[in-house]
Amino acid sequence: GAGVSQSPSNKVTEKGKDVELRCDPISGHTALYWYRQRLGQGLEFLIYFQGNSAPDKSGLPSDRFSAERTGESVSTLTIQRTQQEDSAVYLCASSSPRGAYNEQFFGPGTRLTVL
């Protein structure tokens, strides 16, 4: 079946504007994760959704960042009043937590550039 998809693949925006990034997880995967990768850095965890549980927002860097997920499907990551330091590749991953094993499958990412 289809893998994790993300849109747009690239986004260029001006400082101060809001952006929305979309993630479509693998069908049937109950867990969804957002990460970001800034230049020269590893991946940083942002937020985690698991089924109908309250999301784990512990990785969000500021209150300008928020995310929503509709049931066990699409998720949207919103960044308000973007800053230049928000420039990064934003990655989405999904997994099916059967037992203790939750291999995460990654999407291609959205490259965000804030001018």
Partner 1 sequence: AQSVSQHNHHVILSEAASLELGCNYSYGGTVNLFWYVQYPGQHLQLLLKYFSGDPLVKGIKGFEAEFIKSKFSFNLRKPSVQWSDTAEYFCAVNQAGTALIFGKGTTLSVSS
- Would you count residue 55 as binding partner 1 (CB under 8 A)? no
- Of 46 and 82, nearer to partner 1 (C-beta) is 46
In angstroms, give the least distance from the CB of 56 to partner 1. Answer: 7
- Would you count residue 98 as binding partner 1 (CB under 8 A)? no
CA gap 51, 98 in Å, rounded: 13
DSSP 60: -
CA gap 77, 7 in Å, rounded: 11
Residues in region 77-96 near partner 1 by CB under 8 A: 91, 93
- Would you count residue 13 as binding partner 1 (CB under 8 A)? no
CA gap 55, 74 in Å, rounded: 14
